[in-house]
Amino acid sequence: MRPTGPRVGRAAQGGLMPIYTEDGVFLDIGERAYNYYDRKAGVIGAQDAGAWFDFVHDDGTRAYLNGGRICSIAFAIRKGWL
């Protein structure tokens, strides 16, 4: 799926790679998302030189993910996951 949302934050300013979620939304470091592999919401943390980033779940646990493993909070709510 081709991302359709606007670029925001550092991604829009030519910084690190933009994070494209599975539902086609652009997100940036510090924004909330839903990790549907672990079924937990959280915040996108530090990004490496590629498309991978730390994801800090609301319960304090962490995961190392890319955009293909998360979706927007709005999408998770529409699906009934949150």
Tens digits of residue pLDDT in 44-82? 999 887 779 999 999 999 999 999 999 999 999 999 999
DSSP-assigned beta bridge partners for residue 26? 20
Residue 17 to residue 1: CA distance in whole angstroms: 17
- Give the CATH fold of the 9-79 domain: SH3 type barrels. (2.30.30)
Residues listed for the chain: 82
The confidence score (pLDDT) of residue 48 equals 84
Residue with the larger pLDDT of the pair 51 and 7: 51
**Residue ranges of the domains in the chain?**
9-79
Q: Confirm whether pTM is higher than 0.85.
A: no
pLDDT tops 70 at residue 1: no
